[in-house]
Chain A
Amino acid sequence: MKYNYSTKWVLQRVTALFLIPLTFWFIFQCISFQDYQYEEIQLFFKSYFNSFLFMGMMIIMLIHSKLGCETIIKDYVFSIHLQKICNNLINCITVVTLVLVIGSIFKLIII
């Protein structure tokens, strides 16, 4: 999917706005995850609310990361050919990570 630069710029800021509350929610959960047992984490993700927030955060975070990394590549990588390779690599990593997160969350909810 091709976006123009202004769409990317707006999308970068909109995703940033959504990430502000979600990051606070996750970071405070994340630190306590260290002490959780497997059953406690499983129970955490059994909650639709927690799973929805986590999945939403990860999707928005990955889109935000993808846009940010593309901007950095555009600014620092001189070769257009290398830029395309890097962007394709970023797209692949983003898609694989998204599939991994969505699949894992669904598995945790179902089991």
Chain B
Amino acid sequence: MIDNRPLSPHLTIYKKVLTAFFSIFHRITGIGLSIGSILIAFWIFLIALGPSYFYFFKIISETNVFKIILFLWTLGVFYHLFNGVRYLFWTYGLGMQLKTVYSSGYLIVFLTFLASIIAWLI
């Protein structure tokens, strides 16, 4: 029975709506951040190994590509965080009216960019 259970989401049969994109993007950022957490572990491991290994990271961290990736990671963290808070509200049945769902979605996009810019400017 468990083999034949319906699997979600049936992406191809539904009309593409903005709320679905918010949900899919939450999962995509979640996977990205999971990979990021492994890289953070690798970073602390390099530090623990000693200065010569740390300077290997230092050389990479000074490149523009690294800075762009770090900025995108910041965007991903803040998006996942704010959207996660939105889901926590939904857990308690709050903010689930269609109009509120859309407006909170737009608010999350705004807050994501705002928080990322503030984090990089400070």
Interface residues of A (CB under 8 A from B): 13, 16-17, 19-20, 23, 27-28, 30-31, 34, 38, 41-42, 45, 54, 58, 61-62, 65, 68-69, 72, 75-76, 78, 80, 93, 97, 100-101, 103-105, 107-108
Contact A27 B74 (CB under 8 A): yes
Q: Is the interface of A mostly helix, strand, loop or mixed?
A: helix
B88 within 8 A of A: yes
Tally of B interface residues using CB under 8 Å = 37
Interface residues of B (CB under 8 A from A): 2-3, 7-9, 27, 30-31, 33-34, 37-38, 40-42, 44-45, 47-48, 51, 54-55, 58, 61, 67, 70, 74, 77-78, 81, 84-85, 88, 91, 119-120, 122
Known pairs A41-B47, A101-B41; list 17 more (Cβ under 8 Å).
Answer: A16-B88, A20-B84, A27-B74, A27-B78, A28-B122, A30-B70, A34-B70, A38-B55, A38-B58, A41-B54, A54-B44, A58-B40, A61-B37, A72-B27, A75-B9, A105-B48, A108-B48
Set of chain B residues within 8 Å of A69, measured between Cβ atoms? 30-31, 34
Q: Are B30 and A72 in contact, with the CB atoms below 8 A?
A: yes
